[in-house]
Structure 1
Amino acid sequence: MIGLVFKELWGRKRRMAGSLVAVFLGVTFLTGTLVLGDTLAASIDGYFSSAYGKTDVTVRNATKVSDEPWGARGQIDASVLGKVRQVKGVANAEPTIEGSGQLLGKDGAIIQSRGPRTAGNWKTDPKLNPYRLAEGHAPRAPDEVVINKMFADEGHLKIGDRTAVLTPEKVPVTVVGISMFGDEEAFGETSFTAFSLEGAREHVAKGSDRISGVAIRADGVGQAELASRVRDVLPAGVEAISNKAQVEEGMSLVETGFLRIFRTVLAAFGGVALLVAAFSIHNTFAITMAQRTRESALLRALGAGRWQVVAIVGFEALVIGAAATLAGLAGGYGFAALLRQLFTRFRIGIAMEGLTVAGTTFMIAVPVGLLVTFVAALGPALKASRVPPLAALREVAAETSRPSETRVIVGAVFAAVAVGTVVFGALTEQMAMAAAGAVVTVVAMVVLGPVAARPVAALLGGPAARLRGVSGTLARDNASRNPGRTAGAATALMIGVGVVTLMTVFIGSLRASLEDGVAGSFKGPIVVDAGGNETGGFSTALVQDAAKLPQVSDIAGIGTGSMRVDDEPSTVAVADPSSLRRVLDLDVTQGGLNDAGTFAVSKKVADDNGWRVGTAVGVTFADGTAQKLAVGAVYNNTDITGDYLVPRTVWDAHTRQSLATKAFVVLKPDASVASARQALTTLAKPYGAPDIESRDEFVTAQTEDMAGFITVVYGMLILAIVIALLGIANTLSLAVHERTRELGLLRAVGATRPQIRSMVRWESVIVALFGTGGGLGLGVFLGWGLGSALGNPFAPAPVQMAVIAVVGAIAGALAAIRPARRASRLAILSAIAAP
């Protein structure tokens, strides 16, 4: 039986090529995404392992206010340093000072970065300092600094240049050194400007009584033991942690946060590619098993049992799956290298040097590749096993031309459940319900595909019949004649196009939500925008200076920060509520924002926690101070402020670096927008030159961070569509092989080669349009459902939809090139004589 399997495969090499390619591309996609996830995890682990140099123990504030692995902690009393140095086993201990510090480039503007923008002290002990000097010398005076090579290059700065650092006050400095983080030009995209200890105390810590922590090097004692000894001399609210524990803590936060999301997104795209590949494989086996009906019957007549027939087909699938999977593992490595370049190019994640392949990648990719191929072939195999032995003695139709009543009924039930679930989830804003409905919708689409294929193919083929005459008519009839085959070929494309359309609609909905939120809350024409970096921004003095401009009627600055609210790490907005209410309409439902000391929360948070105006909420600031804040207002519009609004008078009592990231400007009735923008641009230059934007420009800027990620997403989804088009091409090739005698007869009665080519091409276009149209409908429906479940408005993109439709038709024509050429070149007499 094994010999029969290999003889069957060898005799039908061309027929199985499409399945091999489909599995290969699917496994390549999956392996590549897994390798990229492993590489990113290894890179982050390497960064964390090097982040503290060869520090053995770190002393820090015990209050955790952020779930980000690099979230800043509050300062501690500088007197801790002296106590730590007296502990037995401490070889050396140096203070760590770190805070917001934005380096200005040669042009006087802030050097932008996606990572934290920090400043602090240069540690003199090389073992405690994760940075090393690549050029120049360490800072010796308070106005001398060492800067990362990455930001020196981006800011066009070199040794000896004069520039400034915003802390947030503007501090003029001289660059005396260029640093490297090991062999890297920076720690991820973290900008670190190193002052001398004296300079850091003056400009970052704002005094000599507070430090960020203490870095300790051990002398003849283990990290855990030394950390235990140091804890004994620390005051309340201060903790000691070993380097090993600190690295594990950081990696744990990454694994449960960013990296888990990253891996999930990549795995989802890998799943889409494999699902599309599975449909292509299933379609190939369905056609080939239908073509081998008499062969299966003959095996049964010679004594083979039903399960032996299933075993033959299953073994064929496993051989194909194994060969394609092994090739896909190698292809996945190359694909991961390509993805790494894309993510680096669009600055998504952190820099990834080299590729890391974990054992789990093989443990996942190999079984999945084999299983997908086997499961895809199982249905056709079971169908082949049911062929009666007598079928070997008579002509048997290759495939049924009409879907069964059972399929129609089951499909209708699935469709009703799917639509109802998605609509209910959308109307009640229950994301889990809408997502479950989306899965059922895909199942319903697969079941009902053959039911819809005949009438839809006839409808789509109408223009071809009118425009291309006999060739178009035959193409339409061929597509309608075997609805199961047409649906099978189109389903793979339908899923790929559906996911692309879903992403397009979903992202459009997010943008529309943001636009509606800003338009509904801010009526002014100008926004001073420093981006969303929590360690970035500008001094609140800029807001005070801007308020004095003759064109400005009202202005309010807003910043962001981290604190514990009701004992949960939370991101909060920081502003003067009484000023904010004059420029923003937050749709306050309870209380008011008239008082500068008002603590406000969103309606969702208030409802979830049972809070109302007057409720005392426990909060803890980064410096460890805990207190109660009474809710003074509840609001609906969270697009700009998020869920919590903390008054700046309260916030500034717990920080020495008060920053704003945005300022919303309302002009006087007779003021010119152009002149106001010019005045604000000039005023903002000493503050790092934040962007002066119109309201529309501000909305666009909020979605710019999506652009790079969206590009990579679309690039990965294109691969799924390519797999689907290969499936269409393979289906047409098999159909051409099946219709060899029919094509020979057409040639014999006068059909020309161009007519045969046209017939096959139009059949491919009809199938592609069926898949593309179904994918567009599926994507728009699910995009509406999932977007509405999140409370976003429905915002389809008609231009993108039209482009997808045109690309689908063109791709269908391209997929038919090879099958059409092969069909037109068949020798007439040989084709007529074919069995």
Structure 2
Amino acid sequence: MAGSLVAVFLGVTFLTGTLVLGDTLASSIDRYFSGAYGRSDVSVRNATKVSDEPWGTRGQIDASVLERVRRVDGVANAEPVVQGSGQLLAKDGTTIPSRGPRTAGNWLNDPKLNPYRLAAGRAPRAPDEVVVNKMFADEGHLEVGDRTAVLTPERVAVTVVGISKFGSEDAFGETSFTAFSLEGARKYVAKTPDRISSVAIRAAGGVSQDELAARIRPVLPTGTEAVTNRAQVDEGMTAVQDGFLTVFRTVLGAFGGVALLVAAFSIHNTFAITMAQRTRESALLRALGAGRRQVVTVAGAEALVIAAVATLAGLAGGLGFAALLRLLFTQFGIGIAMESLTVSATTLLIAIPAGLLVTLVAALGPALRASRVPPLAALREVAAEPSRPSDTRVIVGGVFGSVAAGTVVLGAAGGQVATAASGAVLCLVAMVVLGPVVARPAAAFVGAPAARLRGVAGALARGNAMRSPRRTAGAATALMIGVGVVTLLTVFVGSLRASLEDGVAGSFKGPLVVDGGSNETGGFDPRLVQEAARLPQVRAIAGLGTGAMRVDGRVATVAVGDPSALRRVLDLDVRQGSLAGPGTFAVSKKIADDRGWRAGSRVGLTFADGTAQQVTVGAVYDATDVTGDYLVPRTVWNAHTRQPLDTRAFVDLRPGASAGSARRALTALAEPYGAPDVETRDAFIAAQTSEMNGFIAVVYGMLALAIIVALLGIANTLSLSVHERTRELGLLRAVGATRPQIRSMVRWESVIVAVFGTAGGLGLGVFLGWGLGAALGDPFAAPPVQLAVIALVGAVAGALAAVRPARRAARRAILASIAAP
């Protein structure tokens, strides 16, 4: 019972911890959004939305809007806001790494409108003076009075006159914000005194946000809108909830569900064994007049007590687990500081019923079997469990397994992820049903080496594992699920990485890449590409940037570049048309097929500044790993932005040119542009998949708990099995078996069960990983080293799970064991 309690406790701890982490992250993001606009009441901004991101790009508006707004009754103060791309350079002139946006703008003088506050120094006054946020000042080793530069994308030499904080935080997430004076922001960021990004407005006393916004709207020109602070916060949170948070909660919830599912098998096996051992007791209760419902009630009461105690303990443990997860995610860097844990009512309403119901449902089957014991069983010895599965189980399991495998294969062949995923769920069901069917032959096969190499102890271990296939399957299935999920993710991520590597490697054959980071507000001035093209070692070079716009009315992230230059360094596998013209608009084959486009089709583009333009599809390509689904000509893009940026440049060299010499020349040339990395092709390809390493490490750490629960189940099963075989163990000792032999027998029985579960999990995980990867179009790439480590860990863990049961079995006194009832 203690083992079952621990299993439920760990399962509920896992589920509660993941749910609390989701609540904490949502609360932290909400806090960030609430402070993002200071204590402004209304903002006036461009009405054109071209991105679904919470801080998606919006175009500039006419600066004359400011004076119109200031004249509206109820406006206490209004200040212009200028914001755009601005990369702060460190003291040594290099770009400061950041996972968040790299922005620059103007310092708002009204402290109620400014979400930032001065932590040191003063506000900027001259155009070349800036205030930088503390996180990036620390990372760039900058202090008040230091000289550095900001790339807007032109290099602007500046003096740091102040250090700011976002409320109590060192930065807004991991956003770099460099604040110029209004004059400096207009000159270097907006590039004109006639345009601004938005207007921040504070209401006079007694005027509500909604009322003020209603008064402002009539004076606004077409293409602008007035939005309340509350609406902006809700808008941002909705975007996060519908995107990142939904995925985050789903993934974490799935891990919690796996842990509880594994715990359910441990509970079920425990109750199945204990109820089987109490067969005569149940029969005596029936003989004395107890009804079936009463027998079920007794077992249910036991399960309920375990569930209640374990669930309450799991809620407390979940808080500690959430704190650990918060630390892990902070270390891996998600860009949001999560200070205090937040527990919502929804978390409690999910975790408490889940812990109770999983335990009760897991105990229901054994309780029903106990209630069906005939009263006459009290008068005779009865077998605790059937040694062979029923014909019904064999038939149902065979049908289920065939349908499940066929569904996965069908989804993989047809590129249907939903079909493959549903097949994966069916495979889990089939595995549970077929477990007792394959347990006996599998234990015989896995245990054969032990029987040959370990003599009598090995043969007895093999026989014990084969004796109760339902029990063996129950213990192994829990481990099978944990190992299967780990293997599935390993194969899936390996295939995804291989797909990305193959795609990038297939598209780009050149030796060098100038990598400025993939962030939309990070990169380098396109003039770097123009200067690099004049190097004697360079045969061809093409820059590539990113942006957001509406394509045919739909929000889209696009690649920006010169198609005619890109075709000389990238192979985009053009299926229709040509990339020869510098003004060619191109789309992927997938998008073209979905929208019914082809070369020559007319497509409408809407830019962040609100202007619309019709373009002709000049090419349709199939290789999307580098450019994505849309390629917009830079000549078209630059007409609607004042801050053109390249995030990467692909370089091909002249025949005979030294890659090392070219790399040194490019590195020196790139230094004034923030020193973006000049990487070899192989290093660039490896960098594209490096972010997966942190994710997979967190996943392995979280799934390790599910495997620990499974191993507790094996230890629990062995302990109960040892207790059940007390007389048998005593007789073995009486006929000459030594204590080391008894320990060896129990250990090998555990290893057989663990190897059975690990092998089944590996096979299932590889199959499902192939199916889901193939449905997404990824090549099959099962990492052999990782899979070998998983197999080794499973076998070793099985031996560790048997340490305590084996020691208890060997310590039993011979005569007391033989005399046991």
CA contact (8 A) 1:348 1:708 kept: no
Contact 2:442 2:756 in 1 (8 A): yes
Structure 2 distance, partners of 1:441, 1:374, is 24
1:128 aligns with 2:113: yes
Secondary structure in 1 aligned to 2:567? helix
Alignment of 1:155-166 (within 5 A): 155-166=140-151
| Contact map agreement 1:348 1:709 (CA 8 A) in 2 | no
Correspondence for 2:401 among 402, 415, 423: 415
> 1:349-368 counterparts in 2 under 5 A?
349-368=335-354
- 2:474 aligned residue (472, 488, 506): 488
Name the structure 1 match of 2:488.
Answer: 502
How does the TM-score come out when normalised to structure 2?
A: 0.99
Distance 2:572 2:47 in 1: 35
Q: Is the 8 A contact 2:505 2:685 kept in 1?
A: no
1:79 aligns with 2:64: yes
2:82 is matched with 97
Q: Distance in 2 between matches of 1:439 and 1:638?
A: 31
Contact 1:598–1:633 under 8 Å retained in 2? yes
Residue matched to 1:342? 328
Letter in 1 for 2:72: V
Q: Which position in structure 2 is the counterpart of 1:10? A: none
- Aligned partners of 2:57, 2:177: CA distance in 1, in Å? 14
Residue in structure 2 matched with residue 789 of structure 1 by the alignment: 775
Cα distance in structure 2, aligned partners of 1:295 and 1:345 = 55
Contact 1:188 1:350 in 2 (8 A): yes
Moved more, 40-49 or 106-115: 106-115
Paired with 1:403 and 1:553, the residues of 2 have a C-alpha distance of 71
Residues 737-783 of structure 1: CA deviation (Å, up to 9, x unaligned): 00000000111111111111111111111111001100100110000
- Asked if 1:19 corresponds to 2:4, the answer is yes
Which of 804, 808, 817 aligns to 1:831? It is 817
8 Å Cα contact 1:95/1:211 also seen in 2: yes
Query: How many residues of Structure 1 are paired with residues of Structure 2 in the alignment?
Result: 820
Q: Name the CA distance, whole Å, in 2 between partners of 1:501 and 1:691.
A: 35
SS at match of 1:660: coil
Please tell me whether the aligned partners of residues 585 and 615 of structure 2 are also in contact (alpha carbons under 8 angstroms). Answer: yes
How far the C-alpha of 1:107 sits from its partner, in A, is 2.3
Q: Deviations over 1:283-307 (max 9, x none)?
A: 1111111111111111111111111
- Picking from 157, 166, 169, the partner of 1:181 is 166
Does residue 290 (structure 1) correspond to residue 276 (structure 2)? The answer is: yes
> Aligned match of 1:41 in 20, 26, 44?
26
Q: Does 1:138 align with 2:123?
A: yes
Distance in 2 (CA, whole Å) between partners of 1:379 and 1:70 is 52
Name the residue aligned to 1:6: none
CA distance in 2, matches of 1:61, 1:298: 81
Judge conservation of contact 2:524–2:673 (CA < 8 Å) in 1: yes
* Equivalence for 2:104: 119
Contact 2:42 2:227 in 1 (8 A): yes
Post-superposition Cα deviations, 1:453-478, rounded to whole Å, max 9, x if no partner, equal 11111111111112211111111111
1:190 aligned onto 2:175? yes
Structure 1 CA distance, aligned partners of 2:675 and 2:463?
A: 66
Range with bigger deviation, 689-698 or 437-446: 689-698
- Equivalent pair of 1:527/1:698 in contact (CA under 8 Å): yes
In structure 2, what is the Cα distance between the partners aligned to 1:17 and 1:545?
A: 72
Trace 1:615-694 onto structure 2 (pairs within 5 A): 615-694=601-680
Are 1:68 and 2:50 counterparts? no
Q: Give the whole-Å Cα distance in 1 for the aligned partners of 2:32 and 2:118.
A: 18
CA distance in 2, matches of 1:147, 1:672: 41
| Structure 1 stretches of at least 4 aligned residues deviating more than 4 Å after TM superposition | none
* C-alpha distance in structure 1 between counterparts of 2:258 and 2:410, whole Å: 25
* TM-score between the two structures when normalised by the length of structure 1: 0.98
Contact 1:732 1:764 in 2 (8 A): yes
User: Which of 154, 161, 182 is the equivalent residue of 2:139?
Assistant: 154
In structure 1, the residue matched to 2:586 is 600
Q: Which moved more, 1:40-49 or 1:689-698?
A: 689-698
Tell me the distance in 2 between the aligned counterparts of 1:523 and 1:706: 24
Question: Partner amino acid for 1:169?
Answer: E
- The C-alpha deviation readout for 1:586-619, integer Å capped at 9, x for no partner, is 1111111011111111111111111111111111
AA in 2 matched with 1:733 = S
The answer for the alignment partner of 1:729 in structure 2 is 715
- Paired residue for 2:209? 223
1:350 match: secondary structure: coil
Aligned to 2:764: 778
Shift of 1:705: 1.7
Q: 1:90-141 deviations in whole A, cap 9, x for unaligned?
A: 1110000000001111221111111111000000000000000000000111
RMSD: 0.7
Tell me what 1:5 maps to.
Answer: none
CA deviation digits over 1:282-335, x for unaligned, max 9?
Answer: 111111111111111111111111111111111211111011000000000000
CA distance in structure 1 between the aligned counterparts of 2:697 and 2:159, rounded to whole angstroms? 40
Alignment of 1:271-282 (within 5 A): 271-282=257-268
2:174 and 2:335 in contact (8 A); partners too: no
| SS across alignment from 2:422 | helix
1:516-531 alignment runs, 5 A limit: 516-531=502-517
1:264 deviates by 0.5
Following superposition, the deviation at residue 555 of structure 1 comes to 0.5
Q: CA deviation at 1:72?
A: 2.1
Question: What one-letter code is carried by the residue in structure 1 that aligns with 2:513?
Answer: V
1:800 to 768, 780, 786: 786
- Counterparts of 1:566 and 1:380 in 2: how far apart (Å)? 60
Aligned counterpart for 1:746 among listed residues 717, 732, 742:
732
Distance in 2 separating the partners of 1:519 and 1:335: 41
> Gaps (5+ residues) in structure 1?
1-15
User: Displacement, 1:349?
Assistant: 4.9
Using the alignment, how far apart are the partners of 2:339 and 2:8 within structure 1? 29
Which structure 2 residues correspond to residues 368-767 of structure 1 after superposition, within 5 A?
368-767=354-753
Identity %: 78
Residue number in structure 2 paired with 1:7: none
| Letter of the structure 1 residue corresponding to residue 95 of structure 2 | I
Deviation at 1:547, TM superposition (A): 0.5
Quote the Cα distance in structure 2 between the aligned partners of 1:619 and 1:307.
69
Does residue 206 of the first structure (1) align with residue 191 of the second (2)?
A: yes
* Mapped partners of 2:265, 2:334: distance in 1: 32
2:17 corresponds in structure 1 to 32
Amino acid of the structure 1 residue aligned with 2:760: G
SS of the residue aligned with 2:474? Answer: helix
Partner of 1:4: none
**Contact in 1 for aligned 2:99/2:335 (Cα 8 Å):** no
Structure 2 residue aligned with 1:311, among 297, 310, 318?
297
Residues 519-556 of structure 1: per-residue CA shift (max 9 Å, x gap): 21111111111121111011101111111111100010
CA–CA distance in 2 between the matches of 1:248 and 1:389? 65
Aligned ranges for residues 808-819 of structure 1 at < 5 Å?
808-819=794-805
* DSSP-derived class of the 1:24 partner: helix
Q: Which runs of 5+ in 2 are unaligned?
A: none
CA contact (8 A) 1:506 1:783 kept: yes
- Secondary structure of 2:219's match? coil
Partner in structure 1 of residue 37 of structure 2: 52
CA drift of 1:628 comes to 1.2
**SS of 2:599's equivalent?**
coil
CA contact (8 A) 2:11 2:314 kept: yes
Q: Equivalent residue of 1:21, what SS?
A: helix
Aligned to 2:600, the other structure's residue is in SS state coil
1:551 & 1:652 partners in 2: Cα distance?
Answer: 28
